[in-house]
Amino acid sequence: MGKIEFDRITKAPVFRKIAFGSWKTVGDPSVYGSLDIDVKKAILFLENLNEQHSTKVTVSHLVAKALSIVLKKRPEINGMIRLGGIYQRKNIDLFFQVNVPGKEKDSVKGASLAGTVVRNVDKLSLLEIADDLQKKSARLRANEDNEFNQAVSLFHWTPWWMSRWLLDLTSFLNYTLNLNLSFLGIPKDPFGSAMITNVGNFGIEQAWAPLVPYSRVPLLLTLGAIREKPWVENGELCIRPILSIGVTFDHRFMDGVHASSMVKKFKECFAEPEKYFI
């Protein structure tokens, strides 16, 4: 058998360094589940809403609003683990993953993931959520988010082996000691109550994303592409546009009771969009 050879990567994008420092190979309290939602009524609701306003509202914004309703109904899951105890957040802030394309058109070269937080989502309308996220995402893609750029610059010259240490240190200072790290471009509670990432934009129907330990976020929703699928309604088989959501949560913080409550409320929201989303 011939010798297996490898080429060591000595230069990598900043995002890859951050990913390398985020997770160990095994051992975490993540629980994975899935939620399929009939979005026929939601799509009609969005079409009517977008005809009346210039700000484009998408299914991602509906999911964000529904999640804020869930967190408001079950405030005990809007928190984090700190110093061996559970601390409840007073605000409902949601972190959105944002895809930043590479400089070359239609190329993944140089592409990366970034993120931004929409604060107090429960107090915002759908249009306000969409507008806030759109403006923040545009700044990220234009490389004009100074706060984000300052935070990421910490990793430009950081060796791979130090990335985990740096991430853990900033998390400890920010969350455990509750220190102000704004001079490093790191705001208070930079990841919010929960994370939302939309892989449906890449044509992926279903996926589950891992929790990020240093973020202290106990809940992550991964949105897949909407597809026409067989669906049973009132005992009859039909075809419906289905949104599949991969759910990842921290089992130290949440359990099946919380997940069941979230699923029920999500289905209610999408079954009656005019009631919950206006």
Count of the separate structural domains present in the chain: 1
pLDDT of residue 106: 46
Q: What is the CATH number of the domain that holds 218?
A: 3.30.559.10
Percent of the chain with pLDDT over 70: 86
Whether the pTM exceeds 0.75: the reply is: yes
What's the mean pLDDT in 52-78?
A: 94
What's the mean pLDDT in 53-75?
A: 95
- Residue 74's domain comprises 31-147+191-276
Number of Cβ within a 10 Å radius of residue 17: 21
- Measured distance CA(53)–CA(138) in Å, rounded: 19
Domain annotation covers residue 174: no
For residue 143, name the pLDDT band (cuts at 50, 70, 90).
confident
Strands 79-82 and 30-38: unpaired
pLDDT of residue 184: 77
The residue behind tokens 């009524």 is 41
Domain annotation covers residue 159: no
Domain annotation covers residue 97: yes
Report the run of H or E that residue 248 belongs to, with start and end.
Answer: strand 236-250
- pLDDT tens digits, residue range 194-209? 999 999 989 999 999 9
The mean predicted confidence, pLDDT, of the chain is 86
- Measured distance CA(264)–CA(261) in Å, rounded: 5
Domain annotation covers residue 169: no
Rounded to whole angstroms, what are the CA distances from 86 to 83, 187, 216? Answer: 8, 21, 11
Domain annotation covers residue 9: no
pLDDT of residue 277: 94
- Phi-psi category of residue 52: left, alpha or beta, with phi > 0 → left and psi -120 to 50 → alpha: alpha
The residues near 22 (Cβ < 8 Å, ≥ 6 apart) are 164, 167, 212, 213, 214
Rounded to 5 degrees, what are φ and ψ at 276?
-100, -25
The answer to whether residue 6 scores a pLDDT higher than 50 is no
Domain annotation covers residue 129: yes
